[in-house]
Amino acid sequence: EAPMLQDMLAGQIHGGFHSMAAAGEMMKAGRIRPLASSGERRVPSLGSVPTLLELGYSKRFTFNGFSGLLAPVRTPQPILDKLAEAFRVAANKPETHQRLLAIDTFPSYQDPPTFRTQIERNLREWTEIATELNLTIEG
């Protein structure tokens, strides 16, 4: 995401999808302008910025970004279980929610199987959209 934001700030590309965590400060500084948000609900600090759904785009464009805890494939299950539990505890703390909301990130916790399913679904949906639009990666 950072290289795309840098390219946009340098005028090499005309726009892109960015998280509030990555682009929020650039918006506040007036260096980039939000046109629409991709979630099902408006971003609180961007109350006047419509969602893509409000602008008439397909519900397929109502995706939310996510962050998650990842580990190498060969990590032993007991270690994965310990990490997942520690992450669950941290993710559900009120101070974690406050910090995430401060950067316009909606806090939610998913257990590892649910998170894995979400990643698989998102990759499938994004691949379908890229294929339908004939999008390619350059460079």
Q: Is residue 80 part of a domain?
A: yes
29: confidence class by pLDDT, cuts 50, 70, 90? very high
pLDDT in tens, 34-84: 999 988 888 888 889 999 999 999 887 777 777 888 999 999 999 999 999
Q: Is residue 1 part of a domain?
A: no
pLDDT of residue 122: 86
Q: Is residue 56 part of a domain?
A: no
How far, in Å, CA of 100 to CA of 116, rounded? 21
Number of domains in the chain: 1
Provide mean pLDDT across the span 12-39.
Answer: 89
Q: Is residue 24 part of a domain?
A: no
Q: Is residue 106 part of a domain?
A: yes
DSSP letters for 45-92: GGTTSPBTTTTT--GGG-----------TT--HHHHHHHHHHHHHHHT
pLDDT-above-90 percentage for the chain? 49
Q: Is residue 112 part of a domain?
A: yes
Residue 85 confidence (pLDDT) above 90: yes
By residue range, what is the domain housing residue 72? 66-139
Residue 139 confidence (pLDDT) above 80: no
pLDDT of residue 21: 80
The type of residue at 126 is W
Q: Is residue 93 part of a domain?
A: yes
pLDDT of residue 47: 82
Q: Is residue 130 part of a domain?
A: yes
How far, in Å, CA of 66 to CA of 130, rounded? 19
